[in-house]
Structure 1
Amino acid sequence: MSQVKLEDVDAKNSKKARKEDPLRENLGTRRVPKLRMANFPDADDIVHQGLMEEERGPKAVDIVLVNPPTPDGGYWIRTQHRVGRRTRENMVWPQVSLAQMAAMLHPQHSVAVIDANAERMGWPAFAKKLDELKPKYYMTQVTAPTLENDMYGCFLAKARGAQTIAFGTHVTPIPRETMRPYPALDYILLGEPDLTIRDLMDVLEGKVDQRPDNIQKIFDTHDPMYEPAYNEDGTVDLHKMKGLVWRKGEEIVVNLTRPFIPNLDDMPLPMHELLPWQDYRMPLIKGPFTFIVTSRGCPAGCTYCIKHVSYQFSVRLRSAESIMEELWKLKNMGLNNIHMYADLFTVNRDQVMELCQRMIDEKINLKWTCNSRVDYVDEEMLTMMGKAGNWLISWGIESGSEQILRHARKGAYPDKAARSLQWARNAGIKNWGYFIIGLPGETEETIRQTIDFSKGLPLDIALFHVAAPYPGTPFFFEVVKNGWFRPGTRWEQVDMDKGTVLDYEGLSAERLLYWQRRAFREWAFRPGPIITYLKMLASDISTVKSALSVGLQTLSWQANRD
């Protein structure tokens, strides 16, 4: 008979006790482990490698040029050398500047254009389009009222591995303070972007030696000091690239300014075929329309004009022959409505007269519109323009007060306006007048003067905007100097159409907006303008929906009275 040791009995009893104790089954009764140093897993390299090695499908491109989705889903006006604003007139602004840059890059660099504004594309669809195109580079329009919105597009592109590039009238005067708060933005192209984007792409992609003769000619003639941005050992040195703003670690580097392209005829014709041109619309026009750039720059000195940020006082003309070549291209695409897009279409009388004569002689049979100043026309020229197919001119009239116009350095005074507009009307050309409420020196009396003046002009359409001090204009610096900015102003509020950032002594922002709406109301709600609107409805059934939309938007805007 075996002996049972006492310690064995104790062990068995202890085991039995543990089994019978339910807390022993709860692991939470154990002692808490000592605090150790964190050692988090690092998957960055794997994820980055996966992003870089992700297969690029047949629709993938080197660069996508974008007019991104708009802040509120409505139609907005944005372009290379203009400011941004929402359009109450349902105008869908053709993105010819993007088509021009596409032509500068093609075919050595594969290009796609997204005009989300024209295609009514929201951010989810836009992101899906980026997934499809998988661009290496992403280039976007940027304007003051759409700044945060436009930077969201850079964020989406950057998250997909693209290098991001911005251009436009907002980033040119404030490059550092655009780059600093938006780390998703890699590059800014200062001023005229057409040649800088070609230079940047060629250098980064190693294609400088693949430039065709026509592009190389522009590089050779625009800057006698030009050289590709390479070091002697062949490595890239972005310090040498004029017109570029870029990041060097934590530093934001602003390079030397790039000279303007001297001869616009040297540039290839814009690739209009990449644009959704069937979606471009303008009031009073049946069917689609598009732009053709006839010149760049304006010699006038208007202090509020964004020209001080874009082409300044330079004026460069395209030849009538070059313009006709592009007009025939558009005609053959099926476009019969053209807007002659320029800072000032009538800046050179000889160019306008030769172009009109060629249009008549070649029987191109296009309907076209343009802009002008009342002091850059004469009766003979307007008659010739009417014969060549011009049917509408938009005039920058701005104010009925000579005092206000002198302060703004407009140079075109009220006495010339009635005469020039009447000449146009006699030539069968409709008149579209633009006015600005709230330029420096404005009072309720001068606003009243402008309203009365507008009602006495032979106008078919009139729009009244509130003065907007866009960054870089002399008006902007005057507003800063005098403390006329409303406290807490954000760039998205600098908009000539839907709000104001100005607070003058004796004329508050609220009063400016009140007078803007009142001015339009007094001008529009009269028999003449109402008949014009009804004729627009009756002239073409296809414009009814747009015309009604414009009317409803205007009534909604007018309902927001102070």
Structure 2
Amino acid sequence: MQASRGRLFMKIALINAPWESKSFFQSIPWLPIGIVYVGTVLEQNGFQVQVLDAAAKRWSHGQVVTWLKQVSPDVVGLSALTLPFLSLVDLVRAIKAWNPRVIIVLGHYFATMEADRIIRKHGDFVDFCVRGEGENTFLALCQWLDRHPGKEPDGIHGITYRSTTGRVISTPDAPLIVDLDTIPFPNRSLVDHAYKWAIGGFVLPRTRFTTMISSRGCPFKCTYCACSRFARQRWRPRSPENIVAELAIVAEQGYTDVNFVDDNFTLRKDRVLETCRRIKQEGIDINWHVDGRVDHAWADMFAAMHGAGCRLIWLGFESTSQRVLDIYDKKTRVDMFDRAIRNVRRAGIEIIVGLFMVGAPTETLDEIRHTIEYAVRSDIDLPVLNILDVYSGIQLWDDAIARGWMRDDDIVDVEVGGTMRKAERWETLTKLVDVSKTPSERAEIHRLVAEARRTLFSLRRMNALVHGAMRVLRSPYLRGIAADVVSRLPSTIKTLASFRD
């Protein structure tokens, strides 16, 4: 990925498209680090790059097209995820209506998992899908398009497109980037948006927030997750030196909070400890937040993390039924849960977000009730409880089809932009309970989850709330959060009300 110092090439626009989602948590934007990495590589190789986070700005499709008219790009690259895919198709149609000659390229998870069907069904508007990691593949594609206008790509791995004869072409997969230290640090100035850190929907206005990634991929095969297929079940870390060098730059740029968006930040204890040692050695003063697993919950590691600035950890519990955890192929045990929570608390990490989901294949109502009860009663600051979604690219999707519960080409009703429309099932998410449970079971599951969400800040969680209040008194970080929340009382009331929706 060496920078080219030649002429400026064609113009590239990269867009994180509007989600048009009613989910409150999805309405709180994070820096789309993936397209910023891609934009940085393109920029360093001579291309004129503009990046738009239309989701963060809450722009309409019309506003995105107006922006594109001002930028006048030759190529538009867009992130494609499952939930907002149908809305993305509408945006792509609007872009092509404005300029049929602009080249549309989709990337990210959904464009990787469903590249062939995307091109078959939407190839009149989508010109290419980039499969897998985008830095090298999208750069190679743009270089080809710049040097060979009008000609089909030759020798580029990891792309899917429609040939001039109408045939769908999928080239061999591109190799994974093994040495992540070779990727340039993302140029965050490419994105014009002031991101704020938020916890459980409470936006903290005095923060300046960004995202980082210290590793890619995952060695596990959880049946509800697409990461193992996307990254071919390989975990690739950045070196502690490389991580800390970027973190130092981020701190110098005035950011107060960083969320590491790794799937497995805590996978290797020695790497975490060395990273923390270097953060302290360099005197970097910044709050950072990570995801973790309950089987990677070493007390000394958590203590080192807290000492280096870690303030929040997301822990994936999923279910309190060992049978369900085994269905998820999670490779964790229920008896690890309490120990993980205790070790985080003893280390002093201020906030635990616990991730739970219900609605697994064959999961009983009693198992669901037990999981919900644990989520509500345990010493977790914010339990996040969801009903399981399945989508193309995960094992549970394949299993549901194999069981005869659904077909990937089923015609389903989907809400897009406030209106209902017909779509094929592969183009959207499916609540597994909608195809695997009886109507009465589905209704009871939805009732249980809604009731649990209403109790998050109620007397039912009094013990956890009292413990949380004591931690606020001891922690300057939490006291600052409390001051922010209290100072924005109308917004706070609105957020609390959202938990009852």
Band of TM-score, shorter chain: 0.7 to 0.9
1:245 is paired with a residue whose SS is strand
Sort the Cα spacing of 1:253 and 1:521 in 2 relative to 1 into closer, same or farther, 3 A.
Answer: same
Q: Tell me which residue corresponds to 1:192.
A: 133
Alignment partners' CA distance in 2, 1:254 and 1:241: 10
Instruction: Say whether the 8 Å CA contact 1:502–1:508 is kept in structure 2.
Output: no
Q: Tell me which residue corresponds to 1:338.
A: 258
Q: Tell me which residue corresponds to 2:454.
A: 521
State whether structure 2 residue 254 is matched by structure 1 residue 295: no
Alignment partners' CA distance in 1, 2:32 and 2:443: 34
Residue 474 (structure 1) shift: 0.7
Deviations 1:67-122 (A, max 9, x none): 112224x5xxxxxxxxxxx3437531211111100111113111011001111212
Amino acid in the other structure paired with 2:245: E
Sort the Cα spacing of 1:545 and 1:355 in 2 relative to 1 into closer, same or farther, 3 A.
Answer: farther
Equivalent of residue 65 in structure 1, options 6, 11, 14? 14
Which has the higher mean CA deviation after the structures are superposed, 246-255 or 128-137? 246-255
Q: Tell me which residue corresponds to 1:22.
A: none
Alignment partners' CA distance in 1, 2:264 and 2:120: 35
Report matched runs for 1:406-445 at 5 Å.
Answer: 406-429=326-349, 430-445=351-366
1:346 is paired with a residue whose SS is coil
Sort the Cα spacing of 1:513 and 1:312 in 2 relative to 1 into closer, same or farther, 3 A.
Answer: farther
Deviations 1:327-375 (A, max 9, x none): 1221121102111220111111111111100111111111111000010
Instruction: Say whether the 8 Å CA contact 2:103–2:127 is kept in structure 1.
Output: yes
1:423 is paired with a residue whose SS is helix
Sort the Cα spacing of 1:89 and 1:137 in 2 relative to 1 into closer, same or farther, 3 A.
Answer: closer
Q: Tell me which residue corresponds to 1:168.
A: 108
Alignment partners' CA distance in 1, 2:179 and 2:489: 42
Q: Tell me which residue corresponds to 1:388.
A: 308
Instruction: Say whether the 8 Å CA contact 1:239–1:255 is kept in structure 2.
Output: no
Equivalent of residue 349 in structure 1, options 257, 264, 269? 269
Alignment partners' CA distance in 2, 1:403 and 1:111: 49
Q: Tell me which residue corresponds to 2:161.
A: 246
Alignment partners' CA distance in 2, 1:199 and 1:546: 46
Instruction: Say whether the 8 Å CA contact 1:277–1:289 is kept in structure 2.
Output: no
Instruction: Say whether the 8 Å CA contact 2:382–2:456 is kept in structure 1.
Output: no
The gaps in structure 1 that reach 5 residues or longer are 1-59, 75-85, 207-229, 558-562
Which has the higher mean CA deviation after the structures are superposed, 183-192 or 90-99? 90-99
State whether structure 2 residue 97 is matched by structure 1 residue 139: no
Equivalent of residue 172 in structure 2, options 244, 256, 260? 256
Which has the higher mean CA deviation after the structures are superposed, 149-158 or 435-444? 149-158
Q: Tell me which residue corresponds to 1:99.
A: 36
TM score, norm. by length of structure 1? 0.76
Q: Larger C-alpha radius of gyration, 1 or 2?
A: 1
Report matched runs for 1:149-160 at 5 Å.
Answer: 149-159=87-97, 160=99
Instruction: Say whether the 8 Å CA contact 2:299–2:346 is kept in structure 1.
Output: no
TM score, norm. by length of structure 2? 0.85
Residue 406 (structure 1) shift: 0.9
Deviations 1:140-189 (A, max 9, x none): 11111211111122223323231000012222222221122222000001
Q: How many residues align?
A: 458
Identity %: 24
Amino acid in the other structure paired with 2:157: K
Equivalent of residue 273 in structure 1, options 189, 192, 205? 189
Instruction: Say whether the 8 Å CA contact 1:484–1:504 is kept in structure 2.
Output: no
Report matched runs for 1:72-91 at 5 Å.
Answer: 72=21, 86-88=23-25, 90-91=27-28
Alignment partners' CA distance in 1, 2:230 and 2:257: 27
The gaps in structure 2 that reach 5 residues or longer are 1-8, 413-424, 473-477
1:459 is paired with a residue whose SS is coil
State whether structure 2 residue 488 is matched by structure 1 residue 539: no
Amino acid in the other structure paired with 1:106: E
Q: Tell me which residue corresponds to 1:44.
A: none
Amino acid in the other structure paired with 2:70: E
Alignment partners' CA distance in 1, 2:182 and 2:233: 21
Sort the Cα spacing of 1:99 and 1:493 in 2 relative to 1 into closer, same or farther, 3 A.
Answer: closer
Instruction: Say whether the 8 Å CA contact 2:258–2:287 is kept in structure 1.
Output: yes
Which has the higher mean CA deviation after the structures are superposed, 459-468 or 531-540? 531-540
Sort the Cα spacing of 1:239 and 1:392 in 2 relative to 1 into closer, same or farther, 3 A.
Answer: same
2:83 is paired with a residue whose SS is helix
State whether structure 2 residue 392 is matched by structure 1 residue 476: no
Q: Tell me which residue corresponds to 2:47.
A: 109
Equivalent of residue 313 in structure 1, options 233, 256, 260? 233
Alignment partners' CA distance in 2, 1:189 and 1:127: 22
Sort the Cα spacing of 1:484 and 1:543 in 2 relative to 1 into closer, same or farther, 3 A.
Answer: farther
1:447 is paired with a residue whose SS is helix
1:502 is paired with a residue whose SS is helix
Deviations 1:364-405 (A, max 9, x none): 111111000010120110111111111110011100101100
Alignment partners' CA distance in 2, 1:271 and 1:545: 35
Sort the Cα spacing of 1:456 and 1:391 in 2 relative to 1 into closer, same or farther, 3 A.
Answer: same
Sort the Cα spacing of 1:66 and 1:495 in 2 relative to 1 into closer, same or farther, 3 A.
Answer: farther
Amino acid in the other structure paired with 2:111: V
Instruction: Say whether the 8 Å CA contact 1:138–1:154 is kept in structure 2.
Output: no
Instruction: Say whether the 8 Å CA contact 2:86–2:428 is kept in structure 1.
Output: no
Instruction: Say whether the 8 Å CA contact 1:61–1:134 is kept in structure 2.
Output: no
Instruction: Say whether the 8 Å CA contact 2:359–2:433 is kept in structure 1.
Output: no
Residue 502 (structure 1) shift: 3.5
Instruction: Say whether the 8 Å CA contact 2:212–2:258 is kept in structure 1.
Output: yes
State whether structure 2 residue 429 is matched by structure 1 residue 494: yes
Q: Tell me which residue corresponds to 1:552.
A: 497
Instruction: Say whether the 8 Å CA contact 1:242–1:255 is kept in structure 2.
Output: yes
Alignment partners' CA distance in 2, 1:105 and 1:71: 28
Which has the higher mean CA deviation after the structures are superposed, 119-128 or 500-509? 500-509
State whether structure 2 residue 366 is matched by structure 1 residue 450: no
1:238 is paired with a residue whose SS is coil
**RMSD of Structure 2 on Structure 1 (CA):** 2.6
Sort the Cα spacing of 1:313 and 1:493 in 2 relative to 1 into closer, same or farther, 3 A.
Answer: closer
Residue 495 (structure 1) shift: 6.2
Residue 422 (structure 1) shift: 1.0
